[in-house]
Structure 1
């Protein structure tokens, strides 16, 4: 009989048995949210040329040093430069060029004055017009310089960096259209139970729909993995052993739900032990004490309880970090904030308890956490309506309303630091 271990020991044990998967190359658009497996460099300067930051007039800044409302400086508009165009002609004293946002700044001038603060003396502001400037302008004013964001050959996304949606655009602008990332782990999801039927069926007496597989597959997908829901396995050791052995040969990680306790029809522990190495059977948490982990044919196999909340908590706290490590992520824990408990909570179990809860701010701006009134481990709806898990530490100490309590944020990425 394996002894019960702490959550931290369980996580460390599972993490020690997984490594980043091989690198694959994918289109940059598909890499959003993924981890760069190598330094990514720009092939050109970004921007490749100095350009105007806004619509306005390109001028010699020195000619406006004396400009004031009382004595404006007038200039002739001799040309117009739109985005995508180039003007390389001369620009003499007393002359300026109308320029649009993103257009290359002509070499002959060194500042841009925005259109709205320039008075049109005659004409329409386009070439052939005359305009007046009522204030000096700084050198390189409203100019975005060549190479301002990156130089050719410079690393623009570092190995291990998570690529965001803006990063996709940045890489595209740098000429990086394919990105090396660690392959997403292929996760086999197996629900165990002779009472289970497919969600497309209307359950007959004694039967229930297989909802766990869908929830766990969604959890795996949310973690960046590629889940596959395998057929329901009946409550026999032989059937489960065949299913686990086959899945371990084909997938990178196997997750089962159901059959994790010590009942007459709970077989995941003896199956893992007979097929490979059984490393863990119970963790000091609630819900989800029964957490089975081992390795079969070199593949991690994790047996979650059949109760939805117990399965969800085990996946979120232990399996999700492992799947992230396999993709090259370096942050494994969701952000935690301290909030005031909304009501008294009497603790009747010495295990560390994770209460499905809602976090919000009160009128004073303080975080308040309201645990769901029904904490049954058999409920999915409570989890759907929760945005955090409030943590009641080990021991039997109860908490009163207003007590500070730590909360794991379920809808915030591990990369966020609070």
Structure 2
């Protein structure tokens, strides 16, 4: 195991040790945003009948072949069809039917002329009226054919597709009221540290509130997982070992924060090594060099640093992709754009640095990245006010204002193409 690996190597390593979870069946509305676990077919033709695309008059197109403003063709309105109604009577030459949007097109006619371009000669345009057409129409004009969107037994959503809100409507129209999707991973969130207290408590001297668990649980939920915050674990090997043993038996993925370095009270690495297989301990990134990953009893265990920003960046770059893979997603990287630095940025650390900050546009519409003034790894507030992270590559080369930088968009999902 290398002492320190790249971010890309770390992500690939984690992804190689997680699998897509089994399928489950959910209600149609709960399928939004999920990944289809099987091909889904329609039970009927959609639409099951030819229908009008707008309010108008259903006619024989050939009767209007020579219609013009100088020689309009007049017809008698013999019936009216609303959406949900059916007209099965005859429609003879010189006759038409008033029809509403979505109403079935009678077999006796083949075109619809929209209401606004038809002149009412007598009456009010309803049955018993006489109307005039001043232009020809084409066969099937303003008509939506039966089966236009889907045929019976046709696959309408393929396995691996992400079901979006429009897809939910499509499935509803095709009779798919329950949907097979890949299961969401159940993830245990564990904060390690004898100095931690619950956020509901006012810390006494030497104590701090447990903020990491809540940020990581929120991040897990944003990734589609089902997080559970477990009790704070004190800084002892025995307590952490017992907690990890219980967690891997009950959850699909375990994430800890704190105790990931090499201090006297940092135990996640030896615990994972003792209980299972340890694959990774350090990654070439800042913040968040100390990243522990292994497998215990078949369950992935990831140990994030205790510093808030380091934990957040590690989760975003390494844990989030794994949780997405487990749900059947195939895109694991947030979209990136190139921006110019708003001001000089010095670099002394040779690791790859993830600068938190804001992306905006200048007067010309070009992207500009403004790093947060305080890049401390102990701050959540900076990330709250950031919408991206800019990458400063490995090495010690500083960057001047106007230099291009690559920015990872934190508020855009992986499937979005820019």
Separation in structure 2 between the aligned mates of residue 161 and residue 102 of structure 1, nearest angstrom? 29
- The DSSP-based 3-state class of the residue aligned with 1:280 is strand
In the superposition, the TM-score normalised over structure 2's length comes to 0.98
Query: What is aligned with 2:24?
Result: 24
Query: What is aligned with 2:375?
Result: 375
- The DSSP-based 3-state class of the residue aligned with 1:213 is helix
Correspondence 1:254 to 2:254: yes
Query: What is aligned with 1:286?
Result: 286
Query: What is aligned with 1:75?
Result: 75
Query: What is aligned with 2:50?
Result: 50
Separation in structure 1 between the aligned mates of residue 329 and residue 246 of structure 2, nearest angstrom? 28
Separation in structure 2 between the aligned mates of residue 61 and residue 114 of structure 1, nearest angstrom? 13
Query: What is aligned with 1:387?
Result: 387
Shift of 1:206: 1.6
Query: What is aligned with 2:34?
Result: 34
- The DSSP-based 3-state class of the residue aligned with 1:321 is helix
Separation in structure 2 between the aligned mates of residue 2 and residue 245 of structure 1, nearest angstrom? 26
Correspondence 1:349 to 2:349: yes
Shift of 1:70: 2.0
Shift of 1:349: 1.0
User: Map of 1:113-128 to 2, 5 A cutoff?
Assistant: 113-128=113-128
Separation in structure 2 between the aligned mates of residue 365 and residue 73 of structure 1, nearest angstrom? 55
Question: Could you give the per-residue CA deviations for residues 277-323 of structure 1, whole angstroms, max 9, x where no partner exists?
Answer: 11111000011000011111111100001111111110011111111
Query: What is aligned with 2:324?
Result: 324
Shift of 1:268: 0.8
User: Map of 1:119-138 to 2, 5 A cutoff?
Assistant: 119-138=119-138
Query: What is aligned with 2:180?
Result: 180
- Long gaps (5+) in structure 2: none
User: Map of 1:73-222 to 2, 5 A cutoff?
Assistant: 73-222=73-222
Separation in structure 2 between the aligned mates of residue 134 and residue 380 of structure 1, nearest angstrom? 69
Shift of 1:64: 1.3
Separation in structure 2 between the aligned mates of residue 228 and residue 2 of structure 1, nearest angstrom? 32
Shift of 1:92: 1.0
Separation in structure 1 between the aligned mates of residue 112 and residue 295 of structure 2, nearest angstrom? 65
Question: Could you give the per-residue CA deviations for residues 150-178 of structure 1, whole angstroms, max 9, x where no partner exists?
Answer: 11111100010000011111011111111
- The DSSP-based 3-state class of the residue aligned with 1:243 is helix
Separation in structure 2 between the aligned mates of residue 204 and residue 121 of structure 1, nearest angstrom? 88
In the superposition, the TM-score normalised over structure 1's length comes to 0.98
Correspondence 1:241 to 2:244: no
Shift of 1:368: 1.4
Shift of 1:67: 1.6
Separation in structure 1 between the aligned mates of residue 58 and residue 371 of structure 2, nearest angstrom? 61
Separation in structure 2 between the aligned mates of residue 340 and residue 75 of structure 1, nearest angstrom? 67
- The DSSP-based 3-state class of the residue aligned with 2:234 is coil
Query: What is aligned with 1:415?
Result: 415
User: Map of 1:275-314 to 2, 5 A cutoff?
Assistant: 275-314=275-314
Query: What is aligned with 1:14?
Result: 14
Separation in structure 2 between the aligned mates of residue 276 and residue 141 of structure 1, nearest angstrom? 68
Detail structure 1 runs of 4+ shifted over 2 Å in the superposition. Answer: none
Separation in structure 2 between the aligned mates of residue 271 and residue 252 of structure 1, nearest angstrom? 18
Question: Could you give the per-residue CA deviations for residues 258-284 of structure 1, whole angstroms, max 9, x where no partner exists?
Answer: 111111111111111111111111000
Q: What is the count of residue pairs matched by the alignment?
A: 418
Q: Which moved more, 1:99-108 or 1:60-69?
A: 60-69
Query: What is aligned with 1:227?
Result: 227
Separation in structure 1 between the aligned mates of residue 246 and residue 316 of structure 2, nearest angstrom? 25
Separation in structure 2 between the aligned mates of residue 65 and residue 358 of structure 1, nearest angstrom? 62
- The DSSP-based 3-state class of the residue aligned with 1:83 is coil
Separation in structure 2 between the aligned mates of residue 148 and residue 363 of structure 1, nearest angstrom? 46
Separation in structure 2 between the aligned mates of residue 72 and residue 373 of structure 1, nearest angstrom? 74
Query: What is aligned with 2:264?
Result: 264
Shift of 1:2: 5.3
Question: Could you give the per-residue CA deviations for residues 116-150 of structure 1, whole angstroms, max 9, x where no partner exists?
Answer: 11111121111011111121112111111111111
- The DSSP-based 3-state class of the residue aligned with 1:220 is helix
User: Map of 1:326-341 to 2, 5 A cutoff?
Assistant: 326-341=326-341
